[in-house]
Structure 1
Amino acid sequence: MEDVDLAAVGMALYKNGTLVYSGVGAAALGDPLYSVAWVANFLGRFDFALEAGEIVRSGALSAAGDAAPGDRFTVAFAGWETLERTFAPAEEGAPSGAGAAAAEGGEGGAADDRSVDRRGRRGTGG
């Protein structure tokens, strides 16, 4: 990762073959690493430090979009591999609506993007 210019990394997100979002790392305060530094400095005001091994999300290259059963998403990062995922149809009798579609090849069921940090605090994942 040391040789990657994160500010220059471009991304394109396709839904069912149509470009829906695009972005570049520089959109996060000019460089995603600046975003992480800002968070670390802000937390320091409250005597809270980031520790080695913690995962910090520096921001998104795309807005979150809606997904429905059967939708196929493709994300292409400049210079990196392309990733694809299709949302499986809902099982009969399963709840429908936002978050009800399970990703093909996933753990089954809707993804729960909330997280709990090492101190037991729940985040929103967003």
Structure 2
Amino acid sequence: MNKTDILFYTAAATTAIAGIIHIVLGYDSGRLNTQILFLIGGATQIFWAIPMARKWGPIWYGVGLGGTIIFILIWVITRIPENFITGRGGRISDNGILTEVFQFAFVGIVIAIFVLSGKLSKTNQTL
């Protein structure tokens, strides 16, 4: 295993953990819309560990990055009072913050992968 493999495996772990937390939080929410969003989103994040760990390519990394950023934005927007999604401000829980920490980590790691792959491609190496 080389040093760049660690980035891919860490990205896979962070998105899988965020997905697991989403599924648990959705199940505990008691609201059908939230349960559906968290189940589908969480399952997608768990699935996204596969393209990251197996290095499926930049399109896969970009889609995962975009989806995670959308999840982060939904969380931020729904914390604002009288927002256009829920009409009220949601509470900021420890589990919500924990989920966001893993999502932000995933975003940072994928950006690092893109930066490193750009630098390595200039030296005719692949990531």
Q: TM-score range by the shorter chain?
A: under 0.3
Larger radius of gyration: 1
Structure of greater relative contact order (alpha carbons < 8 Å, 6+ residues apart) = 2
Q: TM-score of the superposition, structure 1-length normalised?
A: 0.25
TM-score (norm 2): 0.25
Report the structure, 1 or 2, having the larger strand content: 1
